[in-house]
């Protein structure tokens, strides 16, 4: 199974700055056997970043998608449009979308279905808040998020789906989960999916939340963790490249 290192640029880098970072990454990151490198710029920068990545093996992702095909949905972008723009992946259900933009488990499920129906690989984000972890609710929260994200999917769909475990308290805080914690949850998510789809292969589970060049090797050294979803550190070419290399070395 390929490992995946994905950069979530969030609301950073317009078309020009996005193009520049794409070129810098394309120059630094060669085709690495067994590693899939992905960047997720804002919608407005997808075309420029696609251009900047030309000739490299780095793949394009979007940070969100709407489930309808087309129509009067001001401000939204469909899965078919993302495909046309060159995306192969789409991040769905990021905690910032759940917390700040009212994204629900039902919406996440609809988006996952739309992505799969249009040949996009969904990177489905799940994770507990600090209050939920302290309250001993981590397992229940993850079970709810995972189960609902996968409603009405088939075993075939599961082959084209990636989870990212992102504890909310670790995102953008500089406080990464400890590796053992990340491993335990990755295994739990994989087991949950296997329970729901007994005939499915084991699915990739990435870790996200304050991954940086200093701590990447720890996560990379554990085979249970299939890669990383990187926010802040993905905005710097050197830092992101180092993280990619860490996962390549330890694969």
Give residues in contact with ligand PGA (CB under 6 A): 8, 166, 171-172, 208-211, 229-233
Q: Which CB, 97 or 190, lies closer to ligand PGA? A: 97
Distance CA 79, CA 250 (A): 34
Cα torsion through 128, 241, 7, 80, rounded to 10: -140
- For this structure, is 166 an active site residue? yes
Cβ atoms of residues 91 and 75 within 8 Å: no
Q: What is residue 60's three-state secondary structure?
A: strand
Q: Which CB, 158 or 239, lies closer to ligand PGA? A: 239
Active-site position among 96, 103, 132, 166: 166
Q: Which CB, 5 or 114, lies closer to ligand PGA? A: 5
Distance CA 129, CA 32 (A): 34
Active-site position among 68, 76, 94, 103: 94
Closest contact distance (angstroms) between CB of 40 and ligand PGA is: 9
DSSP 145-173: HHHHHTTT--HHHHTT-EEEE--GGGTTS
Closest contact distance (angstroms) between CB of 168 and ligand PGA is: 9
Closest contact distance (angstroms) between CB of 46 and ligand PGA is: 18
Q: List, in order, residues 6 or more apart from 203 with CB less than 8 Å away.
A: 158, 161, 162, 163, 189, 190, 193
Q: Which CB, 5 or 153, lies closer to ligand PGA? A: 5
Closest contact distance (angstroms) between CB of 231 and ligand PGA is: 2
CA 241 to chain centre: 17
Q: Which residues are catalytic?
A: 94, 166
């Amino acid at each position: 199974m390929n490992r995946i290192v994905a950069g979530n640029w969030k609301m950073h880098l317009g078309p020009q700055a996005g193009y520049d970072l794409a070129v810098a990454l394309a120059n630094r990151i060669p085709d690495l056997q067994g590693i899939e490198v992905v960047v997720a710029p804002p919608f407005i920068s997808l075309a420029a970043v696609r251009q900047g990545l030309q000739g490299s093996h780095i793949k394009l992702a979007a940070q969100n998608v709407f489930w309808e095909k087309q129509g009067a949905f001001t401000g939204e972008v469909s899965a078919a449009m993302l495909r046309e723009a060159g995306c192969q992946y789409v991040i769905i259900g990021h905690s910032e979308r759940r917390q700040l933009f009212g994204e629900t488990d039902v919406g996440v499920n609809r988006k996952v279905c739309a992505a799969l129906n249009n040949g996009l690989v969904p990177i489905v984000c799940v994770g507990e808040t600090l209050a939920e972890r302290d309250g001993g609710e981590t397992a229940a929260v993850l079970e709810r998020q995972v189960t609902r994200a996968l409603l009405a999917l088939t075993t075939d769909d599961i082959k084209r789906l990636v989870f990212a475990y992102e504890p909310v308290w670790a995102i953008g805080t500089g406080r990464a989960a400890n590796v053992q914690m990340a491993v335990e949850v990755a295994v739990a998510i994989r087991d949950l999916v296997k329970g729901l789809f007994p005939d499915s292969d084991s699915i990739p589970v990435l870790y996200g939340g304050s991954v940086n060049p200093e701590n990447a090797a720890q996560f990379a050294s554990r085979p249970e963790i299939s890669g990383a979803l990187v926010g802040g550190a993905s905005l710097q070419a050197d830092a992101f490249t180092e993280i990619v290399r860490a996962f390549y070395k330890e694969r």
